[in-house]
């Protein structure tokens, strides 16, 4: 046993100390740290080529359902990878794939009421490497039309205790470097930039800490360097530049490796003890070819939840999407569930890699489009609206009887392009920064219990925040009621309703396809309040006269009961919310509002005709 122990320790570059010993169950104990033999041969064949001989673990060898993943394991994994022909150092790494070292930290003295302090943290290696086929660089056409390799950034180890993510990345890397033909295709058509442990000080301390720190945040999310600076979470400091050693090393390497432009990013976290886990991205990320491939595969495992989240601006995932970061259009976080055992989480990592294989091999499902119109639906002319605005320089908003209503355009411009409707040849151009129109408080709109809002709109930008087309939505004093908006970070249409004025209870419906795609689109929503038999109100969303339904052009993000609309004091604005702010970039024409809920046949008529024809009660042209 002594000779076996000595060989095991030396294989990890460590020395056998006089206080080390074998336990009864065959574990070599080293203080609170131990070595245990680990049989990779029992795992999937695609993992076997990277089998470990030994793992450095703690006496508490497991986190929920999996073994702990230590900084020594990362180092040993990297040592085995660096000899493979398709693995090379990061642009800023040395030949051992080392970017540099973390700051480390001296021993913390015992605190009042605690018998032991935290051990010293030696400066830890921070690794970065690149996986691709360097000899036969095949290419593939990206979403932006470029012909180059797909660029994917992979990161793990942000939070010290979230080790399921490390195992998932391990499974993904093991597949990417395997002999599987699909892995070979991925290496030809994609390049993977890997940063496997971005907070090594936090992980080193976590697996060696003899007691639970009274500060649970530094224990679970930070490291001593962050804690000394008043920061608790390693995933909330990615915009701090050179302030912290690990952030400086990793962000510099990422930008040097990718040239400041990548296509996808995965930040591996996890896991949750009491739910199946999730992966999260923006709404547009869920519409990406990769996310569609994952959904078609039921990957990374069938029970996983798909969550829509933009994330805090200081998170890695958010930083990567900025020009100061990596300009990544699709950035994901994986929070796997703790019910997965080691084999299950390794397979989840492999499934995430196979999603990229579907993208580069052309097997990803096509992007969702608008639902097909109902061929049996016959258009029917609606009643007159209580408010119309055809957006002509000499024609302001009008009421039900054609009477003029207040309406002031701020910093507005008018298009001089002939419009395809016959209501004139102008539309209001909204510059996305200062232009909006204020219609005040038209009584018929403010007091409406039922509601229909319709307009022609055109836009093509993809702002990072939600932008407001038409709204009565004032965040100050919680005076929200309804809003027709462009969803944050996407080109999707979004409708919001609330019964209370706050955002705590709401209906939040989003189109699953781009509406703001550079073309003129007719958009509308209707709302019918609840009654004695149906307590909840009914919201319906339409694009180009076609109703969007859940799973057929529409994603329902929130669906709280809205039995009636809140009677807000917010004014009616076009092109902004009522601060004002969140300005919409694009054009709008033929706004119309009813104090009733039009049916689908009437919405279809509006999409096929014009307000001028409606005002004149013209008969639609059969052609």
pLDDT per residue as tens digits for the range 332-382: 999 997 778 778 888 999 999 999 999 999 888 877 778 888 889 999 999
Q: How confident is the model at residue 283 (pLDDT cuts 50, 70, 90)?
A: confident
Q: Which of 245, 216, 233 is nearest to 104 (CA)?
A: 245
Position 607 scores a pLDDT of 92
Q: For 145-187, what is each residue's pLDDT tens digit?
A: 778 899 999 999 999 888 889 999 999 999 999 989 999 999 9
Q: Would you call 491 helix, strand, or coil by DSSP?
A: coil
Our CA dihedral for 324, 326, 332, 335, rounded to 10 degrees, sits at -70
d(CA 5, CA 21): 9
596: CB partners within 8 A, 6+ apart: 383, 450, 451, 452
Q: How far is CA 12 from CA 56, 258, 342, in A?
A: 9, 32, 22
- The secondary structure element, H or E, covering residue 173 is helix 164-176
Q: How confident is the model at residue 426 (pLDDT cuts 50, 70, 90)?
A: confident
Q: What angle do CA 82, 83, 85 make, to 5 degrees?
A: 100
Domains parsed from the chain with CATH numbers: 1-63 (no CATH), 86-360 (3.40.630.10), 387-616 (2.60.120.200)
Q: How far is CA 244 from CA 159, 182, 323, 324, 504, in A?
A: 15, 39, 21, 17, 36
Q: For 291-304, what is each residue's pLDDT tens digit?
A: 999 988 999 998 88
Position 614 scores a pLDDT of 61
Token pair for 82? 């660096």
**DSSP 8-state class, residue 476:** G
d(CA 136, CA 187): 9
Cβ atoms < 10 Å from Cβ of 442: 19
Backbone angles phi, psi at 465, to 5 degrees: -115, 165
Burial class of residue 485 (count of CB atoms within 10 Å of its CB; 0-12, 13-18, 19+): buried
Q: Which of 32, 446, 31 is nearest to 207 (CA)?
A: 32
The mean pLDDT of 606-618, rounded to a whole number, is 67
444: CB partners within 8 A, 6+ apart: 386, 387, 399, 400, 595
Q: Which residues pair with 409 in a beta bridge?
A: 437
Torsional sign, CA 400, 403, 409, 415: positive
């Amino acid at each position: 046993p002594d000779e076996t122990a000595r060989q095991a320790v030396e294989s990890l570059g460590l020395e056998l100390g006089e206080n080390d010993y074998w336990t009864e169950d065959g574990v070599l104990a080293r203080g609170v740290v131990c070595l245990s033999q680990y049989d990779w041969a029992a795992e999937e064949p695609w993992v076997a080529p990277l089998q470990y001989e030994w793992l450095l673990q703690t006496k508490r060898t497991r986190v929920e359902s999996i073994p702990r993943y230590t900084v020594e394991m990362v180092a040993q994994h990297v040592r085995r990878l660096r000899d493979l022909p398709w693995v090379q150092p990061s642009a800023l790494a040395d030949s051992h794939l080392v970017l540099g070292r973390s700051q480390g930290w001296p021993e913390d003295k015992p605190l009042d009421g605690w018998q032991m302090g935290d051990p010293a943290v030696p400066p830890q290696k921070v690794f970065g490497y690149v996986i691709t086929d360097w000899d036969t660089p095949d290419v593939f056409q990206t979403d932006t039309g470029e012909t180059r390799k797909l660029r994917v950034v992979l990161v793990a180890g942000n939070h010290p205790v979230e080790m399921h993510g490390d195992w998932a990345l391990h499974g993904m890397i093991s597949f990417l470097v395997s002999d599987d033909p699909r892995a070979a295709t991925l290496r030809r058509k994609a390049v993977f930039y890997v940063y496997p442990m971005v907070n090594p000080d936090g992980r080193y301390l976590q697996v060696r800490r003899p007691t639970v720190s009274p500060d649970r945040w530094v224990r679970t999310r930070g490291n001593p360097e962050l804690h000394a600076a008043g920061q608790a979470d390693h995933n909330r400091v990615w915009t701090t530049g050179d302030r912290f050693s690990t952030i400086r090393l990793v962000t510099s390497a990422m930008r040097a490796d990718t040239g400041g432009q990548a296509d996808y990013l995965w930040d591996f976290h996890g896991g949750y003890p009491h739910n199946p886990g999730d992966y999260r991205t923006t709404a547009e990320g869920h519409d990406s070819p990769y996310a569609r491939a994952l959904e078609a595969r039921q990957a990374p495992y069938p029970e996983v939840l798909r969550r829509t989240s933009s994330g805090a601006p200081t998170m890695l995932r958010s930083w990567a999407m900025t020009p100061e970061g990596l300009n990544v259009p699709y950035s994901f976080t994986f929070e796997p569930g703790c019910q997965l055992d080691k084999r299950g989480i390794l397979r989840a990592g492999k499934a995430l890699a196979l999603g990229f294989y579907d993208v580069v091999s052309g097997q990803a499902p096509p992007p969702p489009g608008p639902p097909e119109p109902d061929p049996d639906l016959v258009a029917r002319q609606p009643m007159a609206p209580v408010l119309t605005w055809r957006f002509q320089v000499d024609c302001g908003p009008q009421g039900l009887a054609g009477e003029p209503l207040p309406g002031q355009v701020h910093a507005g411009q008018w298009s001089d392009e002939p419009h395809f409707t016959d209501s004139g040849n102008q539309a209001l151009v909204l510059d996305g920064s200062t232009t909006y129109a204020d219609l005040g408080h038209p009584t018929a709109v403010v007091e409406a219990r039922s509601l229909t809002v319709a307009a022609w709109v055109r836009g093509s930008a993809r702002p990072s925040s939600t932008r407001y087309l038409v709204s009565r939505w004032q965040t100050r004093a919680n005076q929200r009621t309804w809003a027709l908006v462009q969803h944050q970070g996407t080109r999707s249409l979004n409708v919001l309703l609330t019964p209370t004025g706050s955002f705590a209870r709401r209906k939040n419906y989003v189109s699953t396809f781009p509406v703001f795609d550079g073309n003129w689109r007719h958009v509308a929503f209707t709302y019918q309040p609840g009654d004695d038999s149906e307590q909840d109100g009914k919201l319906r969303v339409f694009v180009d006269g076609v109703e969007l339904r859940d799973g057929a052009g529409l994603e329902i993000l929130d669906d709280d009961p809205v039995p009636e609309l809140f009677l807000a004091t917010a004014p009616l604005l076009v092109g902004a919310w009522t601060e004002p702010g969140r300005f919409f970039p694009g054009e709008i024409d033929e706004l119309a509002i009813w104090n009733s809920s039009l049916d689908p046949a009437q919405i279809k008529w509006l999409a096929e005709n014009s307000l001028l024809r409606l005002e004149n009660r013209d008969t639609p042209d059969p052609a």
